[in-house]
Amino acid sequence: MSVPVSRRAGVPARHAEPAAPGDISDAVRMRAFRQAINEALHEAMARDDRTFIMGEGVDDPKLIFGSTAGLKERFGPERVFDIPLSENGMTGVIIGAALAGMRPIMTHQRIDFTLYAMDQIANHAAKRCYASGGRQSVPITIRALVGCGWGQGPQHSQSLQSVFAHIPGLKVVMPSSAYDAKGLLISSIEDNNPVIFIEHRRLYEIEDDVPDGHYKVPLGRGVVKCEGKDVTVVAVSLMVFESIRARQALAEAGIDAEIVDPRTIKPLDVNLILESVRKTGRLVIVDTAWKTCGFSAEIAALAAEECFGALKAPIRRVTLPDVPTPTTSALEKIYYPGALDIARAACDVMGLGGKVPPAVEASIAGMTTPTAPQFFGPF
């Protein structure tokens, strides 16, 4: 299964910069998101012996859902190792190692675990460069997975990008495709700052055209996934996938949506978003997280502040309701927004009064492009 827009068809060259011309062959090379993450780790580890990977379960039989496969065998147990369940202390360990010249990578099977480590992440890693007068840096990458579905529930499925993005000194990355995942993870590891790299678990099996070898997708540069003239849909992570499905359905009603994927929450590609909103005059923001004080609020404020005059309709947001994730599948089903909710918001800003034309609804119901694959238990 692949995202409908391939790297070559949907990504203008300026947004996807290979490390060097010739690194990317013309042959299509389909790889799952999980494999793209794994390839990025292999590339980064092979290039720089100051990198090492640690995290709970990085070398266990599940290998962080397959993303750390082959690393221990290739780079040895000193550079790829499991850790005690001490998220805060171990984050301090990677900060100290970074201050002493290393470039550590830490992995959390669930982003919820990073909250144990907020002291070291927010109070220490984020502050070190500034509080040292720019004399020090903390080149660490913290991978964190967002769970979703199969009853992951209140403590295994939070989407915390806004929490991290609020804090100066951190960078926050949130890829939506395998191609971006590999290029952005390599950029994150090679960046000289603390980067929170957020991977959505439901993207893991989705394939994309992923070049072999080393390439970088720059932090702070978004991408127009699909061009359109009527409404801008700014979406992140899994919601890019859902937005593309919504776009296909909206076409049935003659609505031409433009999908903008910021790819990094911080730094944010402000100009790309504003350019699109100025062009379409309408804005829908789709986030994987809650509404209040979230990423969607930030984008709405940005548009209101910077291009209010270009807006032809009020801004609409599609987010999680402001409640913890329920575990039961009965409530989980209605908790997560999808293509239909996005289509509804788009129809609303198009002046259709929140009514989704039957053709759009029928299109989503009978869609040949399935939803992102669910994962099954136990974990």
Q: Is 131 in the site for other proteins (CB under 8 A)?
A: yes
Rg of the chain on CA atoms, in Å: 20
87 a catalytic residue = yes
Catalytic residue among 15, 108, 124, 156: 156
- Shortest CB 192 distance to other proteins, Å: 4
Provide the residue type at 66 as one letter.
Answer: G
| Contacts (CB under 8 A) with other proteins, residues 56-85 | 78-79, 83-84
Cis bond leading into 267, ω under 30°? yes
Residues 278 and 310: their CA atoms lie apart, in Å, by 5
The end-to-end CA distance of the chain, in Å, is: 22
156 a catalytic residue = yes
Catalytic residue among 87, 190, 298, 361: 87
Contact (Cβ atoms closer than 8 angstroms) between residue 284 and residue 303: no
Torsion sign, CA atoms 293, 295, 301, 304: negative
Q: Is 47 in the site for other proteins (CB under 8 A)?
A: no
Contact (Cβ atoms closer than 8 angstroms) between residue 256 and residue 230: yes
The residue from 70, 77, 154, 168 that contacts other proteins (CB under 8 A) is 168
- Shortest CB 130 distance to other proteins, Å: 5
- Which phi and psi (to 5°) does residue 317 adopt? -120, 140
Nearer to other proteins, 32 or 53 (CB): 53
Q: At what angle do helices 270-280 and 295-307 cross, to 10 degrees?
A: 60
Q: Is 115 in the site for other proteins (CB under 8 A)?
A: no
Q: Is 132 in the site for other proteins (CB under 8 A)?
A: yes
Q: Coil, strand or helix: which one is 327?
A: coil
The residue from 99, 115, 307, 352 that contacts other proteins (CB under 8 A) is 99
| Contacts (CB under 8 A) with other proteins, residues 209-248 | none
Contact (Cβ atoms closer than 8 angstroms) between residue 343 and residue 367: no
- Shortest CB 101 distance to other proteins, Å: 6
- Shortest CB 172 distance to other proteins, Å: 12
Q: Is 184 in the site for other proteins (CB under 8 A)?
A: no
- Shortest CB 63 distance to other proteins, Å: 22
Burial-class residue 218 by CB neighbours within 10 Å (0-12, 13-18, 19+): middle
The residue from 91, 107, 237, 276 that contacts other proteins (CB under 8 A) is 91
Total residues contacting other proteins by CB under 8 A comes to: 42
DSSP 8-state class, residue 71: H
Which one, of 282, 345, 273, lies nearest residue 306 by Cα?
273
The residue from 37, 129, 255, 372 that contacts other proteins (CB under 8 A) is 129
Q: Is 164 in the site for other proteins (CB under 8 A)?
A: no
Looking at the annotation, which residues are catalytic?
87, 156
Interface residues toward other proteins, by CB under 8 A: 52, 78-79, 83-84, 86, 88-102, 104, 119-120, 123-124, 128-137, 139, 168-169, 171, 192-193
